[in-house]
């Protein structure tokens, strides 16, 4: 049993061992091992040329990674906190996302951009954002997020091995949750990177979640089972591309769907998923697709963040409303 954060550390270590072209870059990722210690001891073991402490300049980190990737390296960039990614936003959407298309397929940028995201840790302003929709909306980027230690270990390695740029969101409030991880399993046998997973089978309604909300959805399913309702929980895992076949198959069986995420609801991923389900599964639906999200306000102060974040009660309320139609 290891924590999600430690699983990421092991995954990064294995990627560094397997490919000498993998380099890690970011603020305090070296001697300190990162704010959350995800890169702990990696600089000591692999040297300052491969685990690089950068200046406090996110645009510079990503811009440097573009140049390294063009020269054949596989940079793994850490954005220290979610809200700090915006100084690098222009580099990501104008350079990283478009270089392959702009070069007519001649240039690939195998860059991984790691972003600890989401709330629940009592942090100050700009440290609890959920900006995933910005990047999932951008053609040319792949966007994924892990929800448990086993996925964290394999998904970070799969992302690094991908020849396309990957934005890798890490649910920071789950860093300390433990789970079983097979550190010796070959990566070739791992669950595919861009595939959704049924985290808990059920027959009465489908609850779709990702990252930090998967645990909330599973807890809601446990509570619902006490009242005789079997909720199927799907961990999306990949936000671009979304694995719609798994979603559609589930919703066609259950007839109901609830989408859960921390980010604000307006123009969020939940809206896109709800629209696609409605288009493809209309004649199977027993009720409208409902969303449980953060509110359409800036992320609040830590003392009231629990009022903002979707919780078990809000998910169960949505399920009840779905059955009330």
Identify the helix (H) or strand (E) that includes residue 116: strand 112-117
Q: Map tokens 């009720």 to a residue.
A: 287
Tokens 């890798």 locate to 168
Instruction: From 224, 201, 214, select the one nearest 310 (Cα to Cα).
Output: 214
38, 153 Cβ separation under 8 angstroms: no
| C-alpha torsion 132→237→216→150, nearest 10 | -130
100 is catalytic: no
Residue 281, classed as helix, strand or coil, is helix
Longest dimension (CA), the chain: 60
3-state secondary structure of 265: coil
CB crowding 310-319: b at 16 or more within 10 Å, else e? bbbebbbebb
Q: Determine the 3-state secondary structure of 218 from DSSP.
A: helix
Helix (DSSP H) and strand (DSSP E) numbers for the chain: 12, 14
Enter the DSSP assignment of 287: S
Find the catalytic residue in 10, 127, 194, 261: 127
Residues marked active site are found at 127
């Amino acid at each position: 049993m290891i924590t999600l954060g430690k699983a990421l550390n092991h995954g990064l270590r294995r990627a560094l061992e397997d490919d000498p072209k993998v380099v890690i870059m970011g603020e305090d990722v070296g001697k300190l091992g990162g704010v959350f210690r995800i890169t702990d001891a990696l600089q000591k073991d692999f040297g300052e040329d491969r685990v690089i402490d950068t200046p406090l300049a996110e645009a510079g980190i990503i811009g440097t990674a573009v140049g390294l990737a063009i020269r054949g390296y596989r940079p793994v960039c850490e954005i220290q906190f979610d809200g700090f990614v915006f100084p690098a936003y222009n580099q990501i959407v104008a350079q990283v996302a478009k270089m392959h298309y702009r070069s007519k397929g001649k240039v690939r940028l195998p860059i991984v951009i790691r972003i600890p995201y989401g709330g629940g840790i009592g942090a100050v302003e700009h440290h609890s954002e959920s900006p995933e929709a910005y990047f999932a909306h951008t053609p040319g980027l792949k966007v994924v997020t892990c929800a448990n230690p086993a996925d964290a270990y394999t998904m970070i390695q799969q992302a690094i091995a991908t020849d396309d740029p990957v934005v890798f969101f890490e649910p920071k409030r789950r860093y300390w949750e433990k789970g079983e991880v097979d550190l010796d399993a070959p990566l070739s046998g791992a669950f595919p990177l861009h595939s959704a997973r049924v985290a808990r089978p059920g027959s009465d309604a489908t609850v779709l979640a990702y990252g930090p909300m998967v645990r909330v959805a599973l807890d809601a399913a446990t509570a619902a089972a006490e009242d005789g309702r079997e909720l199927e929980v799907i961990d999306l895992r990949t936000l671009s591309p979304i694995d719609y076949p798994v979603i559609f198959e589930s919703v066609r069986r259950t007839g109901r769907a609830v989408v859960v995420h921390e980010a604000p609801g307006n123009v969020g991923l939940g809206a896109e998923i709800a629209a696609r389900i409605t288009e493809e599964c209309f004649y199977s639906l027993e009720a409208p697709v409902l969303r449980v999200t953060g509110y359409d306000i800036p992320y609040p102060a830590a003392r009231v963040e629990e009022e903002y974040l979707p919780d078990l009660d809000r998910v169960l309320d949505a399920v009840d409303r779905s059955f009330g139609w």
